[in-house]
């Protein structure tokens, strides 16, 4: 009789314990699943990050910026590189340098390189101003300074003295001061002191493949005047 009661008690205790065991097993299974899901998520995240880094290295999505290299100081000899379009000072310096080059191309007369120089000049000049200059200088014009010098065999060399930007009071306007020396058969026969004033802009333009390197930034002179220093007379 006692053995039967013990058996019944053990049976009831086992039946009561079964739901707890099932809940514990379910908990363990859920815990294992969650752990595996976390591991998979971490691995997947690291894989995505690695792929993104690889794409950035192989295909850098960066905009190429034009650069201007200038020396901070002649004594220091330290090179400073600055993005052109993000630095107003660098852009003004470049425009000033091109203004000096423009004056040299326009005002030099050596009776030898005019064809090449005037071609370069035309790619740096607005259409109306270029037409006026070419009409003035062409040999068919009786008042052409070039024709007169060609007949007299008088050349003109120039020396740039200084240049300056009139910004901010007059943005896009530059002045170039220079000296001219007229020569005949190698001898200096005359000298002048001049100031050229240029109104410039950066304009899009279409050129042939071989001419694209002459003026790659679209530097364009739209107005040009010339005055002898110490004189009030202005020439265009």
CA distance to 13, 59, 101, per residue, from 53 (Å): 60, 10, 46
Tell me the two tokens of residue 35.
Answer: 């752990």
User: Is 193:229 a contact under the CB 8 Å cutoff?
Assistant: yes
Q: pLDDT tens digits, residue range 150-193?
A: 999 999 999 999 999 998 899 899 999 999 999 999 999 999 99
Residue 234's pLDDT band, with cuts at 50, 70 and 90, is very low
Residue 94 predicted with pLDDT over 60: yes
Residue 223's pLDDT band, with cuts at 50, 70 and 90, is very high
Examine residue 168 and say whether the peptide bond preceding it is cis (omega within 30 degrees of 0). Answer: yes
Q: Which of 1-15, 25-39, 76-90 has the least mean pLDDT?
A: 1-15
User: Is 152:162 a contact under the CB 8 Å cutoff?
Assistant: no
Tell me the two tokens of residue 124.
Answer: 């740096």
Q: How far apart are CA 161 and CA 173, in angstroms?
A: 17
Beta-bridged to residue 156, according to DSSP, are 109, 182
What does pLDDT average to over the chain?
79
Write down the pLDDT at residue 236.
47
Architecture in CATH for domain 83-235: Roll (3.10)
What proportion of the chain, given as a percentage, has pLDDT over 90?
47
Write down the pLDDT at residue 81.
45
Average pLDDT over residues 17-44: 64
- Considering the entire predicted model, what is its pTM? 0.64
Give the per-residue SS3 of the chain: CHHHHHHHHHHHHHHHHHHHHHHHHHHHHHHHHHHHHHHHHHHHHHHHHHHHHHHHHHCCCCCCCCEEEEECCCCCCCEEEEECCCCHHHHHHHHHHHHHHHHHHHHCECCCCHHHHHHHHHCCECHHHHHHHHHHHCCCCCCCHHHHHHHHCEEEEEEEEEEEECCCCCCCEEEEEEEEEEEECCEEEEEEEEEEEEEEEECCCCCCHHHCCCCCCCEEEEEEEEEECCCCCEEC
Compare 103 and 205 and report the one with higher pLDDT: 103
Q: Report the b/e string of 37-76 with b at 16+ CB within 10 A.
A: eeeeeeeeeeeeeeeeeeeeeeeeeeeeeeebeeeeeeee
Compare 181 and 18 and report the one with higher pLDDT: 181
Residue 77's pLDDT band, with cuts at 50, 70 and 90, is low
Residue 47 predicted with pLDDT over 70: yes
Residue 99 predicted with pLDDT over 50: yes
Write down the pLDDT at residue 100.
97
Compare 57 and 134 and report the one with higher pLDDT: 134
């Amino acid at each position: 009789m006692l053995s039967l009661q013990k058996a019944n008690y053990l049976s009831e205790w086992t039946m009561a314990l079964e739901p707890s065991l099932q809940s514990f097993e379910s908990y363990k299974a859920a815990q294992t699943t969650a752990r595996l899901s976390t591991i998979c998520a971490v691995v997947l995240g690291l894989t995505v990050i690695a792929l993104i880094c690889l794409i950035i290295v192989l295909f850098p999505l960066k905009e190429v910026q034009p650069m201007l290299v200038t020396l901070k100081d002649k004594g220091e000899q330290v090179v400073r590189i600055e993005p052109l379009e993000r630095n107003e000072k660098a852009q003004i310096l470049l425009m000033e340098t091109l203004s000096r080059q423009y004056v040299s191309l326009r005002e030099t007369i050596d009776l030898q390189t005019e064809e090449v120089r005037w071609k370069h000049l035309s790619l740096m000049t607005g259409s109306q101003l270029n037409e006026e200059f070419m009409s003035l200088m062409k040999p068919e014009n009786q008042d052409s300074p070039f024709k007169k010098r060609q007949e007299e065999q008088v050349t003109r060399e120039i020396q740039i003295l200084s240049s300056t930007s009139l910004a901010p009071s007059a943005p896009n306007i530059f002045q170039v001061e220079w000296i001219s020396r007229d020569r005949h058969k190698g001898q200096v026969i005359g000298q002048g002191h001049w100031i050229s004033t240029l109104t410039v802009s950066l304009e899009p333009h279409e050129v042939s493949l071989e001419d694209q390197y002459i003026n790659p930034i679209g530097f364009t002179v739209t107005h040009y005047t010339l005055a002898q220093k110490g004189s009030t007379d202005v020439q265009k």
